[in-house]
Structure 1
Amino acid sequence: MGSEGITQECSQKVANPGRATILALGKAFPHQLVMQDYLVDGYFRDTNCDDPVLKQKLTRLCKTTTVKTRYVVMSEEILKKYPELAIEGLPTLKQRLDICNDAVTQMAVEASQACIKNWGRPISDITHLVYVSSSEARLPGGDLYLARGLGLNPEIQRVMLYFVGCSGGVAGLRVAKDIAENNPGSRVLLATSETTIIGFKPPSAKRPYDLVGVALFGDGAGAMIIGSDPVLGNEKPLFELHTAIQEFLPETEKAIDGRLTEEGISFKLARELPQIIEDNIEGFCEKLIKVVGFPDKEYNKMFWAVHPGGPAILNRMEKRLELSPEKLNASRRALMDYGNASSNTIVYVLEYMLEESLKIKRENQGDNEWGLILAFGPGITFEGILARNLTV
């Protein structure tokens, strides 16, 4: 598996005392790179399926997702060792977890190491760990295995968020923010790690919604260091986390329905999911924006770091909030390059957001200092953080 990080230019804005800031980002991926143009033939070959109707449907879905590339743990070697993963109806939860537990730990370690390198301080300065994954299940949890793999102090304080889905990255960031602001001097490592093997299945006419996941989701890991009162000269804060809120929408529990069964995880996504998000996004954002007294509807004066659940959700948001097309560039780029990697994806979006901010600054298009970090998950749950970009 490979890891990547990002090194930022010197921050220009000063963080407010006591406010949590993102001090570094890092990411990691498995070695298998999947080109979307070749996914359909490979998937139907690997699962020994020759259904022309399902193949045509997946081909159409692969084009509409806008994904170009993504990384996956699944490989020919894994399918040779566990051929039952491609056979309909066999109980394979043990096999899946054997693969997933090791894979997510390895990716989380690599993403965290990349993040710590970018941070520039000793690993011994990390005081807390928040670990997020919807791709494993074990006792002790992945938080302990990650701590051991990194060589963290056994006295480190750990929090684990399991099966939060696509909102997990921002949920973890909200928890890390609270820890950092209530424990002066603390430095929180937030790590997310996901693999689609937990839900890999052969195509079936009885489960047409599975094909959406095949066309959309990818694997990987992400990491952030969060802390308040950055040490001048040693730390370069990227984003200040001002206000964080969470809200679930009543009577929407079945809109994102996931079940862990003997055959792995199965998901059902309601067709009305993008519409539900469109109908509720503006009211949710207004709750965050009013904290700093922004005038109504001035959304294009902000940056938007949105978890790209899929192109339909981004398109609906852009329409409802009347956003300029470039406002969701970071989210669309992350989706195109990595697919929907569940909780990890917000890390990739934030990296691209920093690039987009530098471009806006060079072109004198305003600084977009304030913005929102958003994600949507099962519940339907909205996660949002009002943030300042300290690099513009």
Structure 2
Amino acid sequence: MTSVLQVDDPAVRGDRLPPESVLAGALPRIAGVGTAVPTFSYTQEELLGIFRIADPKIRSVFRSSAIDRRYLTLPPNGPDGNPRMESQGELIAKHKRQGIDLGGRALQECLKNADQTLADVRYLCCVSSTGLLTPGFSALLIRELGLPVGTSRLDVVGMGCNAGLNALTAVASWASAHPGQLALMVCVEACSAAYVFDGTMRTSVVNSLFGDGAAAAAIIAGPDPREAVQGPTVLRFASCIIPDAVDAMRYDWDDEAGKFSFFLDRDIPYVVGAHAETVLADLLADTGLRRSDIAHWVIHSGGKKVIDSMMVNLGITRHDVRHTSGVLRDYGNLSSGSFLFSYARLLEEGVARPGEYGVLMTMGPGSTIETALIRW
């Protein structure tokens, strides 16, 4: 499914995007991003030692992950000096505590980079898949940071690693309907609040991959009176759900452990990779653009096999996914906010030029692939 956000100004629209693919309205721009991680990080080798993992198969999973280091909030040690098992209640408390801290810091860094203030915020969408809270992070962050009480809000919960682009669709649509007003998206993922340490291969795959972090994006549509909005325009979105793989990534209740447990099917990299070309074709349909016209690729850091599968199926290079691979190496899989960490690295490079196109791509439970087309 493809959704389009456009404007009637041909200078903004771009020469290759025909008028019939444009909806009247103000096009949203990504005005700035911000990220945050916990204080402490650990190498994969350090984690193997901390949790005294001796099983050679599990050790191999950690060591072959293409991850050097992850930021985590580990459980406290028990009387025996080993990290103790946390109850589901303790994990939810960690999710809330870390989420408010990480989300708040990412949001404030985002506002700084976008040259905006807390008082400017009019819409807040929070994304998380590592715990359930009512009220959600949108209400908690409004209270914690003192955002305007008239801020409209939305919480996207439980959609997984693809959810950052699902949320961006909602935020961009709101911004287009309210030109000149600031909308924020914050992805809050305290993945260590979703860990189960039971020694099984199922949970060990998850424990070897995910890290804690939050990322925020500021979206404004239409002209900004301070001319502060210099980021790329969000042109359109395309989605693809794979119903046959609906159980390939899921969050289940583990009766034995008394807590939720995440499951990843070992074939998921190949499943999503096989459908990547289809959703990209939908994204570029009727734009006049070819794959070779895409200058920048920002893809979710789902894991080494996921990245390799995307390269093969999309025909892109190791250089194209350098930021995706770098984020995986330095942070692990950050779930819904991973692609914004990669996008931030692209901005830091300063290589994007006016008129160039980029593709944002995330994948997660459903199984689902989400994409967005942007233009500088």
Task: Give the TM-score band, short-chain normalised.
Answer: 0.7 to 0.9
CA contact (8 A) 1:216 1:340 kept: yes
* Correspondence for 2:59: 59
- Provide closer, same or farther for how the CA distance between residues 84 and 165 of structure 1 changes in structure 2, counting only shifts above 3 A: farther
4+ long deviations beyond 4 Å = 14-17
| Residue 155 of structure 2 is aligned to residue 155 of structure 1 | no
* Correspondence for 1:35: 43
Q: What displacement does 1:59 show?
A: 2.5
Task: State the SS of the aligned residue for 1:216.
Answer: coil
| Superposition pairs of residues 285-364 of structure 1, within 5 angstroms | 285-295=280-290, 297-298=291-292, 301-356=294-349, 358=351
- Provide closer, same or farther for how the CA distance between residues 203 and 57 of structure 1 changes in structure 2, counting only shifts above 3 A: farther
* Correspondence for 1:86: 84
Structure 1 residue corresponding to 2:275, chosen from 276, 280, 298: 280
Amino acid at match of 1:264: K
Amino acid at match of 2:84: A
Q: What displacement does 1:200 show?
A: 2.1
Alpha-carbon distance in structure 2 between the residues aligned to 1:71 and 1:208: 22
Alpha-carbon distance in structure 2 between the residues aligned to 1:94 and 1:341: 22
- Provide closer, same or farther for how the CA distance between residues 63 and 261 of structure 1 changes in structure 2, counting only shifts above 3 A: closer
Amino acid at match of 1:248: I
- Provide closer, same or farther for how the CA distance between residues 243 and 93 of structure 1 changes in structure 2, counting only shifts above 3 A: same
CA contact (8 A) 2:301 2:334 kept: no
CA contact (8 A) 2:303 2:333 kept: yes
| Superposition pairs of residues 11-30 of structure 1, within 5 angstroms | 18-30=26-38
Query: In the TM superposition, what whole-angstrom CA distance separates every residue of 1:299-346 from its partner, at most 9, and x where no partner exists?
Result: 6x4311000111111111111222122011111111111110111211
| Superposition pairs of residues 105-124 of structure 1, within 5 angstroms | 105-124=100-119
Structure 2 residue corresponding to 1:208, chosen from 201, 206, 216: 201
Q: What displacement does 1:149 show?
A: 1.1
CA contact (8 A) 1:305 1:350 kept: yes
Alpha-carbon distance in structure 1 between the residues aligned to 2:50 and 2:188: 24
Amino acid at match of 1:86: R
CA contact (8 A) 1:85 1:200 kept: no
* Correspondence for 1:10: none
CA contact (8 A) 2:273 2:313 kept: yes
Structure 2 residue corresponding to 1:223, chosen from 192, 207, 216: 216
Provide the aligned C-alpha RMSD in A: 2.3
Q: What displacement does 1:132 show?
A: 0.5
| Superposition pairs of residues 104-143 of structure 1, within 5 angstroms | 104-143=99-138
CA contact (8 A) 2:195 2:206 kept: no
Q: What displacement does 1:275 show?
A: 1.3
* Correspondence for 1:97: 92
- Provide closer, same or farther for how the CA distance between residues 356 and 277 of structure 1 changes in structure 2, counting only shifts above 3 A: farther
CA contact (8 A) 2:27 2:176 kept: yes
Amino acid at match of 2:49: D
Alpha-carbon distance in structure 1 between the residues aligned to 2:238 and 2:154: 19
* Greater helix content: 1
Structure 1 residue corresponding to 2:231, chosen from 233, 238, 249: 238
CA contact (8 A) 1:86 1:201 kept: no
Q: What displacement does 1:123 show?
A: 1.6
Query: In the TM superposition, what whole-angstrom CA distance separates every residue of 1:55-112 from its partner, at most 9, and x where no partner exists?
Result: x22322223211111211225xx3459x99834xx8x211211222111111101111
Q: What displacement does 1:233 show?
A: 4.1
* Correspondence for 2:22: none
Alpha-carbon distance in structure 2 between the residues aligned to 1:334 and 1:236: 26
Q: Percent of aligned pairs with the same residue?
A: 23
- Provide closer, same or farther for how the CA distance between residues 18 and 217 of structure 1 changes in structure 2, counting only shifts above 3 A: same
| Residue 192 of structure 2 is aligned to residue 193 of structure 1 | no
Q: Structure 2 unaligned runs (5+)?
A: 1-10, 14-24
TM-score by length of 1: 0.84
| Residue 367 of structure 2 is aligned to residue 380 of structure 1 | yes
Task: State the SS of the aligned residue for 2:366.
Answer: coil
Q: Structure 1 unaligned runs (5+)?
A: 1-13, 45-49, 362-366
Task: State the SS of the aligned residue for 2:245.
Answer: coil
- Provide closer, same or farther for how the CA distance between residues 308 and 291 of structure 1 changes in structure 2, counting only shifts above 3 A: farther
CA contact (8 A) 1:121 1:234 kept: no
CA contact (8 A) 1:130 1:176 kept: yes
Amino acid at match of 2:156: L
Amino acid at match of 1:131: C
Alpha-carbon distance in structure 2 between the residues aligned to 1:329 and 1:107: 25
CA contact (8 A) 1:71 1:338 kept: yes
- Provide closer, same or farther for how the CA distance between residues 143 and 261 of structure 1 changes in structure 2, counting only shifts above 3 A: farther
Query: In the TM superposition, what whole-angstrom CA distance separates every residue of 1:268-304 from its partner, at most 9, and x where no partner exists?
Result: 2112211111211101101111242123x526x4311
Amino acid at match of 1:171: N
- Provide closer, same or farther for how the CA distance between residues 85 and 164 of structure 1 changes in structure 2, counting only shifts above 3 A: farther
Instruction: Name which of structure 1's ranges 57-66 and 239-248 shifts more when overlaid on structure 2.
Output: 57-66
Alpha-carbon distance in structure 2 between the residues aligned to 1:343 and 1:80: 32
Alpha-carbon distance in structure 2 between the residues aligned to 1:99 and 1:283: 39
Q: What displacement does 1:234 show?
A: 4.2
Aligned residues: 352
CA contact (8 A) 1:330 1:356 kept: no
Amino acid at match of 1:293: G
CA contact (8 A) 1:198 1:264 kept: no
